[in-house]
Amino acid sequence: MKTLEELYPGIHSNVMIKGIKINSQEVEEGDLFVCTKGVTADRHDFIEDAKKHGAAALIVSKDVGKQDIPVIKVPDTNKELPYLCQKFYDYPDQKMKMIGITGTDGKTSTTTIIQTLIGSDLCGYIGTNGRSCAGFTGDNPNTTPDAPYLYQYLEDFVDFGCHYTAMEASSEAFFRGRLQATRFDISAITNVTSEHLNIHGTFENYLNSKLMLFQQTKKEGYCILNHDDSYFENAKKACQGQILTYGVGEDNDLQIVHFDIFPDHTDIQFRMKGKDYSITSPLLGDFNVYNLACAILCTYAAGIGMQVILSRIDQLKISGRLELLKTNTPYYVMVDYAHTPNGISKLLNFVHTLDIKRSIVVIGQAGERDPYKRPKVGKTVVENASYAIFTYEDPRSEDPMAICQDIIKEFDENNKNYEIVIDRREAIQKAIDMAEDNDMVLILGKGNETYEKLKDKTIYFNDIEEAYQALANRKIREKV
């Protein structure tokens, strides 16, 4: 807690501030309500609601008339917010080494790998799979949360004794200004393909938002780049810190010399500083070879020795990523977060290197998100999978059927290997009921997330749990 005067010297107010909120419905007694402007809402319009919930003071950027609680006017509440939160929580980001990972695909996997290689007792994680540190786990409202959550989480990590934070740094977070107060010790990019054009408008804007991570890296810090990515040169030009690269070429700081992918592991040969390292990774797919290379280089740059890093490779596990369920059936069921054309294509290419007969995919696309991506996802699935079942996936205010129609709108008469089952639970059941010996059912898009965002509510929903229930339902029917 801090007084208002501690946050804004010269205000001469001893009002105690318990927390910082930007959602009037979340305000509690003693909170400071910051009237930011969102995509669809101006929080200045919710001042009365915030006061009813107990707001102790207001931060505004326009005239709001006379109020019965202290009001502080700033030029831009959105720009003010992260610096205010940073100060309120005593600059926790400056008490740890901050590791930021951006990219279209692989952010969650790479940050999770980094946390494992450093050790969760020393390294916190913030991203799609929530937040965790030192045995603590919790939910996370966004891949990269708004500043009031972010700095509270970072303060928690400091209190838990963490010395590092590995976090997913999304393009939207930079676009919204959530990370503008944070300076990173280590930054890395996995890859870049088209995504989130509904937010950024153009691919160039999307790319530039991602590259802001490197512009916010300390000059004495490290920028880790994928030398094999199409936008390597763009990323290189944006870097402030020392550049380290990974890729297949001999000129990389961490060279991917060779790898062999098996159904249950991957054998990899890396070379760094003239020394070869042969490892066996429990992670599958060529994309995870790159994710691991990126994570190793980040962890090494953070000061962790190679022997420690190598000793922890066998501990790697990424919840909701290539998660093969224990089914005890002659067919297979896998859950994965893949939701972009690039990620889906790489996943299906990997799956078809395994000894399977058919791939049956359950997938949707999120509402109020990039509509330009939907037909690309549809074509990628039907051209690479044996059969597709399109369904809802966080439709929000959009009509789920309309979203599915967007997915299939570029299909031609040759694309007949699909159907639409709007209800996701029914779609998962349908896919599992269809499975025959040696088939692979792939439930994509949500990973281990525990919610579905519908028109007027958010419900609990987990693809892994639903898949196990569908398996149980099928077994019951087969016994009858």
Q: What is the CATH number of the domain that holds 133?
A: 3.40.1190.10
Split into its structural domains, the chain has a count of: 3
pLDDT of 377 strictly over 70: yes
pLDDT tens, residue by residue, 392-416: 999 999 999 999 999 999 999 889 9
96, 197: one domain: yes
CA gap 252, 225 in Å, rounded: 10
98, 73: one domain: no
Last residue of a domain, one of 33, 58, 79: 79
Q: Is the Cβ–Cβ distance between 252 and 225 less than 8 Å?
A: no
The mean of the pLDDT values for the chain is 93
pLDDT of 198 strictly over 80: no
pLDDT tens, residue by residue, 130-147: 999 987 888 877 788 899
Q: Which of 421, 430, 426, 436 is nearest to 461 (CA)?
A: 426
**Predicted pLDDT at 38:** 81
Last residue of a domain, one of 268, 298, 315: 315
Mean pLDDT over 150-169 rounds to: 96
337, 210: one domain: no
Q: Rounded to 5, what percent of the chain is helix, strand, coil? A: 35, 25, 40
Residue 85 counted as domain residue = no
Residue 204 counted as domain residue = yes
294, 196: one domain: yes
**Predicted pLDDT at 195:** 58
pLDDT of 194 strictly over 60: no
Residue 219 counted as domain residue = yes
Strands (E), 386-457: 387-390, 418-420, 440-444, 451-453
334, 198: one domain: no
Mean pLDDT over 359-364 rounds to: 98
The percentage of residues in the chain with a pLDDT greater than 90, rounded to a whole number, is 80
**Predicted pLDDT at 319:** 84
344, 451: one domain: yes
Q: Confidence class of residue 369 from pLDDT cuts 50, 70 and 90? A: confident
Mean pLDDT over 266-270 rounds to: 97
pTM score, whole prediction: 0.87
Residue 10 counted as domain residue = yes
Phi and psi at 209, nearest 5°, equal -65, -45
Q: Is the Cβ–Cβ distance between 2 and 14 less than 8 Å?
A: no
pLDDT of 82 strictly over 70: yes
Which segment of 100-109, 147-156, 190-199, 222-231 scores lowest on mean pLDDT? Answer: 190-199
Mean pLDDT over 166-191 rounds to: 91
**Predicted pLDDT at 176:** 83
412, 429: one domain: yes
pLDDT tens, residue by residue, 31-51: 999 999 987 789 999 999 999
Q: Confidence class of residue 174 from pLDDT cuts 50, 70 and 90? A: confident
The tokens of 68 are what?
Answer: 């019965």
452, 405: one domain: yes
378, 292: one domain: no
Residue 84 counted as domain residue = no
Last residue of a domain, one of 263, 282, 315: 315
Q: Confidence class of residue 201 from pLDDT cuts 50, 70 and 90? A: low
**Predicted pLDDT at 200:** 55
The CATH number linked to 378 is 3.90.190.20
Residue 140 counted as domain residue = yes
* Cα-Cα-Cα-Cα dihedral sign, residues 212, 217, 219, 225: negative
The percentage of residues in the chain with a pLDDT greater than 70, rounded to a whole number, is 98
Q: Which of 344, 343, 244 is nearest to 294 (CA)?
A: 244
143, 165: one domain: yes
The CATH number linked to 54 is 3.40.1390.10
Residue 437 counted as domain residue = yes
pLDDT of 73 strictly over 60: yes
57, 180: one domain: no
98, 62: one domain: no
pLDDT tens, residue by residue, 282-296: 999 899 999 999 999
Mean pLDDT over 202-213 rounds to: 88
Residue 86 counted as domain residue = no
Which residues constitute the domain of residue 377?
323-479
